[in-house]
Amino acid sequence: VLGIRPYIPQSKGLENFKRKWQSRIHSSSTKLNIFGYWAYDTIWALAKAVEMIPQESSSVNGENHHRNTSQFPVIKVSKRGKTILNGLLKTKFKGLSGDFSLVGGQLQSSTFEIINVIDNEEKVIGYWTLENGFVYGKSMSKYELKPPIWPGNTKDKPKGWTTPIGGKKLSIAVPHKPGFEAYLKVAQDPYTKEFIITGFSHDVFEEALALLSFPVPRNLSPLVPMEEHMMSFFPMSKIRHMMLQWEI
C-alpha cells in the first residue's frame, strides 16, 4: 500500500514535547499524530495573535436578558474578534508541525511524505514538494523515489495483468443499497434485464482502469438482487459460489 501524509521535520522542540507527553501520558498506545501537532500549533498561533492586540479594556457584545432559566444564554462575542482573526492570518512561526502559516485561511503543507506500508510497518520512500515534485532524501535534491516493497516482500515490479487462458472476465460484485445514488446507483433495464451501474465511485473506478497499460475484461454484478432491496447480503452458499468463480 502506498500513501501520503504531511511531512513533520524533526526539531529539538518536537523531541522535547514528545518526552513531556510520554512522561504525563503513561500509555504506549496514546501517541500524538499530525492532528495533535496542528492543534498544539493552532493554540500557540491564537495566543500570538492575541498578543498583537493593544492591552486595553476588554469589551464584548451580547447580554443575557432571558429570565427563563430553561433558555440558553446569549453567547458573548468580543468586539476585537476581527482584529484577532486578522492577526491570526498574519501569524507565522516554526511550530511542532513545521512552518505555520495560513494562506486563504488554510494551513499550508509544502512537503508530503510518500510512505510504503508493508503489513504493520511503514517505510518512507520519498517526498513531494510544491517546488520540485517527487524527490528522495531530506536534502530534496535527488529527483527519484526509493523502490517500494511489493506484496511478497520483493522489490521486483509486478508484471501486471495477463489475459486469462480460459478467457474468463474478472467478476466484480457491486454492493447495492438504497441511499445516496449520486455516489453509486444500480438499476436494471426492464427490457434487456441488464444491470446499469452509475455514480461517482463507478466513474472513479472506470477512470482508474483506463490509466492501466493493459485491458481488464470485467463483469460487474450487483451483490444484492434487485427484487430483494431489503436484503443486506447474499446467502453464504451464493457468496462461496461467486468466490470460486473469481479468477484474477
How does DSSP assign the chain, residue by residue?
Answer: -EEEEE-----HHHHHHHHHHHHHS--TT----HHHHHHHHHHHHHHHHHHTS------EE-------TTSPPPPPEETTHHHHHHHHHH--EEETTEEE-EETTEE---EEEEEEEETTEEEEEEEEETTTEEEBSTTS-B---PPPPBTTTB-SPP------TT-PPEEEEE---SS-TTT-EEEE-TTT--EEEESHHHHHHHHHHHTSSS---EEEEESS-TT-TT--S--HHHHHHHHHH---
* Full residue range of the structural domain in which residue 212 is found: 170-245
Establish if 200 belongs to a structural domain.
yes
Domain contains 148: no
Q: Is 155 inside any structural domain?
A: no
184 belongs to a structural domain: yes
pLDDT at 12: 92
Does residue 176 sit in the same domain as residue 127?
A: no
One digit per residue, the tens of pLDDT, for the chain of length 248 reads 778 888 888 899 999 998 888 888 776 666 788 889 999 999 999 999 888 887 664 555 555 545 555 555 666 777 788 888 888 888 999 999 888 988 888 887 778 888 888 877 888 888 888 777 777 765 555 556 777 777 767 777 766 666 655 667 888 888 877 777 888 888 888 888 888 899 988 998 899 888 877 788 888 888 765 444 444 444 555 555 655 655 44
Chosen domain end from 77, 108, 135: 135
Q: Looking at the structure, tell me whether residues 97 and 21 fall in a common domain.
A: yes
- Count of domains for the chain: 2
56: in domain:
yes
Domain identity same for 8 and 131: yes
For residues 126 and 10, membership in a common domain is answered with yes
Q: What is the pTM of this model?
A: 0.53
